[in-house]
Amino acid sequence: MNGSGGGDWVVGGLGPVVFLVVGVVIVNGIAGRLRVPAPILLVVAGVAVSFIPGVPDYQVDPEIILTVLLPPLLYAAAVESSIIALRKMLQAITQLAVGMVLVTAFAVAVVLHTIIPAIPFAAAVALGAIVAPPDAVAAVSIARRAGLPRQVVTVLEGESLFNDATSLVLLRVAVGGIGAGSLAWGPAIGQFAWAAAGGVLIGAVLGVLLSVVRRYVGSTLAITALSLVTPWLAYLIGESAEASGVLTVVVTGLVLGFRSPSDLPPEVRLTDGATWNALRYVLEGSVFALIGLQLWAIVTAPDIGRVPTLTTAAAILATVILIRPAWIFLLAGLARLFRRRAIAPWRPLVAVSWAGMRGVVSLAAAQTLPLDTPYRALLLTCTIAVILGTLVVQGLTLPAVIKFLRMPGDPVADNERERAAARLEANQAISQRVEEVIATESLPESQAHRMRAWAANRDWRGTTERLDNAGDDAGEGRDKLSNWRHELVGIERDVFITMRNSGRISEDVLRELQYDLDLEEALLDRRRQDAGGHLSQLTVVRDEPRDDPDADRPVG
């Protein structure tokens, strides 16, 4: 390749990616200032930019979205999710992530096949599987900002983590039915069962194995690199076993996220967290921008005429929006009728019913349809209509709906109470440990008083600085203080993890408290290393022979 060709490749191949990322950063900043949901503004901006002359074609291979972009996004969301909270809400999550997807898929299939009988039922089911799963990023991000109660957000998070697996497995079965001429229900059920069970089993085993490996890898960069490759490793292993690669990624992330407080040193958590935050920020924005950039090329290729296309797309959009509250309130009514439970509060049910925005997974899944699929252009257009319709109709109005519902509880106040309770319990554990040391070592009252003051005031920085300035004679005291502080940090962390495991604090609160501890411990380690290096230099200077008459004079 000559020089000019190489330059053209860099501009043509790398340029669109760079412009996409820069655009995502700019639009995210504007969305924050305007207080508009970033996913919606990114889609709108993508549509607008696609009409600008000279803008490169951003037609992305759907396999890249499903195999390159989706695994890290799901993994990042799973790592930050709580197994404890998901387990408590498992029934509601299953009803949405599995039941809701299947009901929506077949409802859409029936409506589409009724409107256009010429469409094979397998192709109609394929469209239903494509538009069934709500988007993980849009729903949860908007719900968090709008102040939904924590349990409701947990249900939406759990649904978004697992519904993609249900949808993609059903789509795989439907596409096979398109090629065969009809759906084979027996093999389809067996394939679906193995995809779910195999994905969970493989993900759990892989998560435990990687957890053990991380404990014995000493390098921060090595562990971070392993973390970055984990989503794709899990996806490839799951798909190779003909299970759900998406489900394998999710379960692996849940296991590693749960074990992270015990597995990783503080500096690794800080580095790994910062890396994933930046990567997730770029990927989440990019997938919504790509939706907007690809819309026009898809919408302008209908194959049954403009009016029938618009009518069919509107019917599919209405089905997707209406079937969700119908299913949710039907299940609530059946639970009340057959289990004699008190009827579930209607406000959270309304909020969950309206949090059904679709996104990039639906777009990517639609583009994986074989080129010879009957009415393929119509199916793609209906997918776009559902994505845009749910993002605009539900996404823009969801904050207002949540505000109108006036749901009881304050998530911010709940987090504050949990943080206060966690710190109180940690302080009690530290005070108990201090008294044990005082009694065991029979410390004089003056030293006991200083230890109690250290534990109460946490004046580790000032004390360490005084010991650093004291020179070589204070080295032993500084080391003892550093070891003592590490022990107290360990006590605090154990208290927080225990409270998380028992459900007394949430995963979010644990993450915030642990972040503070990681910063404190990393700073303590850094100061000890700096002080040790400084003392080593002083020792070298003292031991080095000197020719001047003042060579015997003490240094310092």
- Mean pLDDT, residues 105-111: 95
Mean pLDDT of the chain: 79
Amino acid at 283: L
Q: What pLDDT is stored for residue 86 in this prediction?
A: 87
pLDDT reading at 33 higher than 70: yes
For the four alpha carbons of 26, 30, 32 and 35, in that order, the dihedral sign comes to: negative
Amino acid at 441: E
Residue spans of beta strands (DSSP E) within 430-553:
none
- 226 pLDDT tier (thresholds 50, 70, 90): very high
pLDDT reading at 534 higher than 50: no
Q: What pLDDT is stored for residue 301 in this prediction?
A: 56
pLDDT reading at 537 higher than 70: no
Q: Where are the domains of the chain?
A: 15-409, 413-543
Q: Does domain 15-409 have CATH number 1.20.1530.20?
A: yes
439 vs 248 pLDDT, higher one: 248
- Mean pLDDT, residues 371-377: 83
pLDDT reading at 303 higher than 80: no
Residue 290's nearest CA partner among 26, 33, 17, 13 is 17
Q: What pLDDT is stored for residue 375 in this prediction?
A: 86
Q: What pLDDT is stored for residue 481 in this prediction?
A: 61
Q: Are 81 and 104 in contact (CB under 8 A)?
A: no
| Tens of pLDDT, residues 336-354 | 777 655 545 788 888 888 8
Residue 524's nearest CA partner among 488, 471, 554 is 488
196 vs 549 pLDDT, higher one: 196
27 Cβ contact partners less than 8 Å away, ≥ 6 residues apart: 38, 41, 42, 45, 285, 289
For the four alpha carbons of 256, 262, 263 and 266, in that order, the dihedral sign comes to: positive
pLDDT reading at 548 higher than 50: no
500 Cβ contact partners less than 8 Å away, ≥ 6 residues apart: 82, 84, 261, 506, 507, 509, 510
Q: Please provide the DSSP assignment of 244-269 as one string.
A: -HHHHHHHHHHHHHHHHHHHS-HHHH
Q: What pLDDT is stored for residue 108 in this prediction?
A: 96
pTM over the 0.85 mark: no
Q: How far apart are CA 13 and CA 8, in angstroms?
A: 8
Phi, psi of 63 (to 5 degrees): -65, -30
| Tens of pLDDT, residues 487-512 | 888 888 899 999 998 888 888 888 88
Residue 233's nearest CA partner among 216, 258, 209, 268 is 209
